[in-house]
Chain A
């Protein structure tokens, strides 16, 4: 056994407060290894239990509107064009043309190069860094694999922010995480967070994607969640949507438990974003229940919880129409984006 050299890490504020000013790879590792384990059977049982809540009538109506307000309407394809992004932005502003009372979504989520088109298409509905309106979120840092050098990831982020992105969805280096180099993952998040700084000193919100489908174990998810928060993430996000499995209820429950523990410890509120694989209203309502019963209802606001989804919105709109009119319509009564 050799004594590891104390490699100093970037002095991110949260980590320094919790672990100490002599922050090193070693001290970070010891801290993460001291976290309580996760029993997979028990976690999945609890998630399944939350999934049996029966949300009816007025509660359902509130839930459906809330889901819409929490959606990051997403297109992340090689085939994305300015036209496709404009169409998505239009849908974000007016999800249901037949019902003007339908709320708007939280954000549109696109690749970095599409940010100007998204901002332009949103026009006056664009929040542009303010608390009101629809945000533009950009994926960055060599999304989805994250297999690139740090300078390129930083450039990727800076460019998106300069283009007007209100939120950055970065990916962690899963290779580094799985080989035990927690310090590398940590330093990268700190660097990307710094790259989110705008010229006026404000920051674009940073969502840290763990890609839980590649981390594979719940113990890893807890460690990676904690690490991402320590490094300065505003949100922790499950998945890119490009790896299966993407978001699952047990994984999201676990991340919410981390966020709850962090809040108890520091008073600070971190957001959670399950992304990928949530397609039906029924599933999305299970997530709302899980949020409300784990961290509290306060989290059901766009600055603390999001759904990363594309097809979810239309199912919610169909359910919403059913609730308003009393009968089911069909897929031709909601717009494709």
Chain B
């Protein structure tokens, strides 16, 4: 350091301590209390209301109705009535019009939705603003286009809608998961009862306002809030024809058991422990970005997160050094600040689980490194953490942490990389980093995972199907394949029985 350098660094405040740039919450017009959204109206739930808090501050945001069995009955009845009387009688083109209208309204109220999502979920505003909400609009636009083209969905002519869909979604992408569920269901002609996660109901409540604004016929979409028992009542309800669930493998297994033999069609999007494979010829700077995006995007609360880094042994040290340097530049803090990279962990319960598994990782002999971040006093926070010297049998290499924790393992040959990547009960996603196209194709061909990214990670598009192998669930969401979850082939032999104008 020259004398000149010293003078500069001593005098100037650090530019990298960017001045606060908080997104204004003035676009939000929150109510103190939100009811259930049944038959087009907000109604009070009969269970004990609960409070939703901001995980970054632990401050209360609003009180939320709790739906008991009677409320779930009412919601399913409203959906059934809307299916029989209205929605199944509309033409595909007319259903499409409503979906297009919803998509445009999401765009119009994008900022409001993004702020609500970051407030309630804890994710950084740059992600809710640039990823979640734009994808929500994209999902509705995409499936709006399908509504009058179902004959071309690959299920033969005149495929039939199923009826009432019961949908239960997780807290990691509250509004995006809602869009993944509702858009294809409505496009295919079904009506919906959906239950948002207990810790993140807020954006769904604003979405209900959007449905009112769009003049969607009453009862086509019903939103019931509550905890696990509400979800259980919903999926076990005798009058639903289809169950769609995204969440943990444990709950998914219970749902599969409870609907077995009922004739309900089921899709499950469950956990994952994705391998992100970095070969020694990878574009190194972009691979580092991809590793960061793979596991630290959304605080690692991503079912398809690249939580197992498989790096070729001869570049292990270089990759780990570069990764640590990069992680040291991540900014953790107020989710509403536009410069925040890492937001808050969604709940105390989740934070406890991340802490527990990280401690197990250490106890099992892995080497822990945590980025040097100032942890805010209130709220739930976990600094980006990587584990090296992780053995394949370690729990942090086997179990889904669902947090900003990366396990680093090595491999020597492509065959070993493939074997290690597939050695998991899950199979949701995987990543491959190499400059050699032929290697990418050859490896991708042998990986047992539903989604494989090459030289990128965690990229989503409504036209691309998404779903897992093995314990990561069954069925596909997104794309033409996502429609199959909400339609039944009319069969080639039987003449098409149209319930009203189907097309």
Contacts and interface: CB of A to CB of B under 8 A. Distances in A.
Contacts of B456: 41-42, 45
A38 interface: yes
Contacts of B14: 297
Contact of B15 (A39, A54, A300, A303): A300
A51 to B, nearest CB: 11
Contacts of B329: 293
Interface string B1-32: 00011001100111111111100000000000
Contacts of A332: none
A180 interface: no
A38 B285 contact: yes
B97 interface: no
A10 to B, nearest CB: 29
A308 to B, nearest CB: 21
Given A52-B338, A62-B13, A301-B8, A39 B19 contact: no
B283 A301 contact: no
B5 A41 contact: no
Interface residues of A, number: 32
B86 interface: no
Given A45-B289, A52-B126, A292 B339 contact: no
Given A53-B339, A301-B5, A37 B289 contact: no
Interface string A289-317: 00011000110110100000000000000
A293 B13 CA distance: 16
Nearest to A253: B285
Interface string B461-502: 000000000000000000000000000000000000000000
Nearest to A298: B5
A257 B285 contact: yes
A55 interface: yes
B284 interface: yes
B12 A62 contact: yes
Contact of B284 (A36, A54, A56, A254): A36
Interface size class of B (residues with CB under 8 A): 20 to 34
Q: Is the interface of B mostly helix, strand, loop or mixed?
A: loop
Contacts, number: 84
A7 B18 CA distance: 51
Given A36-B283, A42-B290, A55 B21 contact: yes
B286 A297 contact: no
A297 B16 contact: yes
A59 interface: yes
B51 interface: no
Given A39-B455, A293-B329, A56 B16 contact: no
A300 B14 CA distance: 11
A199 interface: no
Interface in A31-73: 36-39, 41-43, 45-46, 52-60, 62-63, 66
A292 B15 contact: yes
A4 interface: no
B73 interface: no
A59 B18 contact: yes
A131 interface: yes
A63 B130 CA distance: 25
Contact of A131 (B4, B8, B435): B4
Contacts of B8: 301
B90 interface: no
A300 B456 CA distance: 30
A301 B21 CA distance: 25
Nearest to A65: B12
Nearest to B130: A52
Contact of B435 (A37, A54, A56, A63): A37
A45 to B, nearest CB: 7
Nearest to B9: A298
Contacts of A107: none
Interface string B256-293: 00000000000000000000000001111111011000
A138 interface: no
B283 A42 contact: yes
Interface of B: 4-5, 8-9, 12-21, 126, 130, 281-287, 289-290, 329, 338-339, 435, 455-456
22 contacts: A36-B281, A38-B283, A41-B456, A42-B283, A42-B287, A42-B289, A43-B285, A46-B286, A53-B18, A53-B338, A54-B338, A55-B18, A55-B21, A56-B18, A56-B20, A58-B19, A59-B17, A59-B18, A288-B15, A297-B14, A297-B16, A298-B5
Top 7 closest pairs, chain A to chain B, by CB: A42-B286, A54-B21, A54-B338, A39-B283, A37-B435, A39-B286, A59-B19
